[in-house]
């Protein structure tokens, strides 16, 4: 069974590398276009589909129609920025409060909240929450709640901003083609871009397939490894006390790593849609990997030293 597990693990690694090489080899077009097409398809798939039937005659109409879509997205994005900025400012102001300054802020909050409300309707949803706080010790929980709301607002804002950037970039490509004087050259450029889009779509499907295959086979390898370990433990229950000790040590290390890991949300984490709890879990995983990695190196060094003294 051990050999089967090793075969599965090496197969997962080998096939994943092979699929990655196939992806790089198959998709030789502009990688920036690949990203653009993927992002535009997430929100406005019809724009990409319509371009596949575009000709030099209807290209200007296509650009004008979809430029309106881009302008509407830009207007929506601008509206989203106001509540995001209001909430960020509100959280920042609350985070600066201390036990000494909290009472004064509490007393002047009606005036402060009116100033917020003058800048956006969304601020009304935050005044009741703060009014319910009577002690400074309750403030941290309220700030954490606001941070979760802010993450959602910022994630939505960043996602829409990325979509808009991709759409504007793609429309920029089509506008350059429209500026070409020669109709023949224009037709060739349209055809090249259409072929590149089809190629990027195929590459995206291949990449998704390889990722799905990797996860399935990796899950199968983990299941086999767990089953093999359980089989060995129960088959030699009297001699397996060391395994239980190792599992207990691992559990303690993971728990400690979780306690010391940070839950602060960076710009990259927000962009990827991660929450504070997910960041903490990832941090715990990274710390645990580092501990086991250095422990493995240390054990190798200690074993080498012990064997060296044995030979003396």
**Residues 46-55: pLDDT tens digits?**
999 999 999 9
229 found inside a domain? no
Q: What percent of the chain has pLDDT over 90?
A: 21
- If phi over 0 gives left and psi between -120 and 50 gives alpha, with beta otherwise, what is residue 275? beta
Domain boundary among 169, 199, 214: 214
Q: Is 230 part of a structural domain of the chain?
A: no
Residues 284 and 191 in one domain: no
Mention every residue, 6+ apart, whose C-beta is less than 8 A from residue 250. none
Is pTM, for the whole model, over 0.85?
no
Q: How far is CA 219 from CA 17, 147, 210, 225, 289, in A?
A: 17, 34, 14, 10, 19
48 and 144 part of one domain: yes
**pLDDT band at 267, cuts 50/70/90?**
low
Q: Degrees (nearest 5) of the Cα angle 270, 272, 273?
A: 65
Q: In terms of domains, do 265 and 116 share one?
A: no
Same domain? 23 vs 113: yes
At 67 the pLDDT is 95
pLDDT at position 272, please?
58
**Count of beta carbons in the 10 Å neighbourhood of residue 240:** 15
The Cα diameter of the chain in Å comes to 88
Which residue do the tokens 């909240």 mark?
113
- Helices (H), strands (E): how many in the chain? 11, 0
Residue 236 sits at φ, ψ, to 5 deg, of -130, 60
Specify if 304 maps to a domain. yes
Tell me whether residue 226 is in a domain.
no
CA–CA distance, 21 with 25 (Å, rounded to integer)? 6
Last residue of a domain, one of 179, 214, 249: 214
CA distance 253 to 251: 5
Q: Which of 31-40, 181-190, 265-274 has the lowest mean pLDDT?
A: 265-274
Is it the case that residue 179 has pLDDT exceeding 70?
yes
Has residue 61 been placed in a domain?
Answer: yes
Question: To the nearest whole number, what is the mean pLDDT of the chain?
Answer: 78
Q: What angle do CA 122, 147, 119 make, to 5 degrees?
A: 25
Q: Is 277 contained in some domain? A: yes
- Domain match, 112 and 34 both: yes
Question: Which residue has tokens 């200690």?
Answer: 302
Is residue 101 assigned to a domain? yes
- Do 51 and 198 belong to one domain? yes
Q: Which residue range is the domain that position 277 belongs to? A: 237-311
End-to-end CA distance of the chain: 39
| HSE-up of residue 114 (Cα within 13 Å, Cβ side) | 3
Closest residue by Cα to residue 55 from 184, 169, 168: 184
Higher pLDDT, 87 or 1: 87
Domain presence at residue 140: yes
Is 21 in the same domain as 143? yes
Query: Is residue 149 very low, low, confident or very high in pLDDT (cuts 50, 70, 90)?
Result: confident
Q: What is the pLDDT of residue 170?
A: 93
Domain count, the chain: 2
Q: Are residues 52 and 102 in the same domain?
A: yes
Residue 86 shares a structural domain with residue 203: yes
Higher pLDDT among residues 270 and 304, named by residue: 304
150 and 60 in a common domain: yes
How much is the average pLDDT of 8-32? Answer: 58
Q: Is the pLDDT of residue 97 over 50?
A: yes
Same domain, 167 and 270: no
Q: Give the residue with greater pLDDT, 274 vs 2.
A: 274
| 87 shares a domain with 34 | yes
Contacts of 167 (CB under 8 A, 6+ apart): 39, 40, 43, 44, 47, 66, 69, 70, 73
């Amino acid at each position: 069974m051990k050999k089967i597990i090793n075969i599965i693990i090496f197969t997962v690694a080998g096939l994943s590398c092979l699929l990655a090489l196939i992806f790089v080899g198959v998709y030789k077009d502009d990688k920036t276009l690949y990203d653009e097409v993927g992002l535009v398809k997430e929100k406005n798939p019809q724009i990409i589909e319509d371009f596949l039937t575009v000709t030099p005659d209807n290209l200007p109409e296509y650009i004008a129609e979809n430029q309106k879509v881009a302008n509407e997205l830009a207007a929506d994005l601008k509206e989203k920025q106001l509540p995001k900025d209001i909430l960020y400012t509100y959280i920042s102001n609350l985070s600066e409060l201390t036990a000494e300054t909290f009472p004064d802020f509490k007393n002047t909050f009606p005036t402060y909240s009116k100033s917020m409300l003058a800048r956006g309707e969304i601020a009304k949803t935050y005044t009741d929450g703060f009014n319910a706080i009577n002690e400074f010790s309750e403030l941290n929980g309220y700030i954490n709640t606001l941070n979760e709301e802010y993450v959602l607002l910022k994630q939505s804002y960043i996602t829409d901003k990325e979509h808009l950037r991709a759409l504007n970039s793609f429309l920029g490509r089509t506008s350059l083609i429209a500026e070409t004087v020669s109709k023949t050259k224009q037709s060739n450029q349209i055809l090249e871009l259409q072929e590149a889009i089809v190629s990027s779509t195929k590459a995206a499907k291949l990449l998704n397939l390889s990722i799905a295959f990797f996860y399935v086979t990796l899950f199968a390898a983990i299941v086999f490894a767990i089953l093999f370990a359980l089989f060995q433990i129960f088959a030699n229950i009297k001699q397996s006390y060391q395994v239980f000790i190792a599992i207990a040590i691992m559990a303690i290390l993971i728990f400690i790593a979780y306690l010391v890991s940070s839950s602060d949300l960076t710009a990259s984490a927000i962009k990827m849609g991660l929450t504070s709890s997910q960041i903490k879990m990832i941090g715990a995983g990274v710390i645990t990997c580092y501990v086991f990695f250095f422990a493995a190196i240390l054990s190798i060094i200690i074993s080498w030293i012990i064997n060296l003294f044995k030979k003396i």
